[in-house]
Structure 1
Amino acid sequence: MKLKFTLILGIAGMTAAQTASPVSLNLVMSLVKTIKVNGKDTEQLTPNPKNVLPGDVISQVVTVRNTSGKTVRQLPLTLPVPKDTRYLAPESGLNDATVQYSIDGGKTFASAPLKKTVTVTENGRSVTREVTVNPSEYTTVRWTIAELGVNDTLKLGYRIQVR
């Protein structure tokens, strides 16, 4: 099965009047495979795979570089979870930034664990309950970069699984 991803990177909070972004973005999607090296399980990353199959794990890492000539503060960066995939977890070992998640396509965001209200029937009566959202339901991830100096870069990312 061949799967194409359509990705949209967004920098929220920028006005339409601005002609240039204060940062450059470079997204790399890598196929994650576990292989044996000297008898030990090791991850192998294949950048920009041509084909992926259901069940494959993909690492999405965006490199953010400040190209503005001045320090940028409180920069929001939004990355949707691609269609036909499910969110797994943050990519480990990358830069820290405040992260929030959305389950409604990026209309609202909150810190994990997300909660939602559901109505269930118990003993013939409708009961409203608050439940924790499974991360596989996340549709969008938004980081807020507190500060990024001139020409500085940082990497942010997460893992997804192909449906």
Structure 2
Amino acid sequence: MKTQLTLTLLTLTSTALAAQAVPAKTSPIKLSAATYAVTQVTENGKTTERLSDAAGKGALPGSLLQMSQKVQNVSTRNVQGLRLNMRVDPATTYQTSNCDAARTNTLFSIDRGKTFAAKPTKTVTVTENGKAVQRVVPASPSDYTNVRWELPELGAGQTVNCNLRVRVK
């Protein structure tokens, strides 16, 4: 019994040391996120938008926020088939989204990220001729719970910015 236990410990120790000796694979993708308050500023008679850092600061109902994610390919090779997901906080309502990558496919979810579609639909019950009937209708952007950007390819050294704007409820 003692021999078997010692052998098991030696095997586990050897396995652990071997695992430590293998260098960790570094990701070719660097992702950074930021949240900004979006305000309208008038200077010299011109109204423009100003983004100010909102990290760690409270936001009042009605405030417009921009949640940004910057994706960088830090490798020397192209990266294929990236999916970037962003959650719409339940205390906010979706307004708009954009991503500056070419050929980006933008999808939306209304079920907390379980399913995505370019134009999600939902089933509603309506009354027709005194009877309850179920109909499939387009979901309203205010129903969106998640946004997904599918980037077919991110070139070596390329940086992409994807943004989601929400209004605080």
Q: Where on the TM-score scale, by shorter chain, does this alignment land: which range?
A: 0.7 to 0.9
Q: CA deviation at 1:56?
A: 0.2
Is residue 2:41 matched to residue 1:35? yes
Give the structure 2 partner of residue 62 of structure 1: 69
1:1-163 alignment to 2 at 5 Å?
20-49=26-55, 50-91=57-98, 94-96=100-102, 97-112=104-119, 114-163=120-169
Q: CA deviation at 1:82?
A: 1.6
CA distance in 2, matches of 1:94, 1:144: 12
1:73/1:110 Cα in 2 relative to 1: closer, same or farther (>3 Å)?
same
Q: CA deviation at 1:48?
A: 2.7
Q: Following TM superposition, where does structure 1 have runs of at least 4 consecutive aligned residues deviating by more than 6 angstroms?
A: none
- Cα deviation code 1:20-61 (max 9, x no counterpart): 443111111110011111112111110235121010000111
CA distance in 2, matches of 1:20, 1:141: 26
CA distance in 1, matches of 2:94, 2:27: 27
CA distance in 2, matches of 1:20, 1:105: 30
Choose between structure 1 and 2: higher helix proportion. Answer: 2
TM-score by length of 2: 0.78
Q: CA deviation at 1:121?
A: 2.1
5+ residue gaps, structure 1, are 1-17
State the percentage of identical aligned residues.
39
Helix, strand or coil at the partner of 1:108:
coil
Helix, strand or coil at the partner of 1:151:
coil
Larger radius of gyration: 2
- Cα deviation code 1:90-137 (max 9, x no counterpart): 14x83341110000000000003x222212222321212121211011
CA distance in 1, matches of 2:85, 2:26: 17
Native 8 Å contact 2:34 2:68 kept in 1: yes
TM-score by length of 1: 0.80
CA distance in 1, matches of 2:74, 2:118: 29
Q: RMSD of aligned C-alpha atoms?
A: 1.9
Native 8 Å contact 2:39 2:50 kept in 1: yes
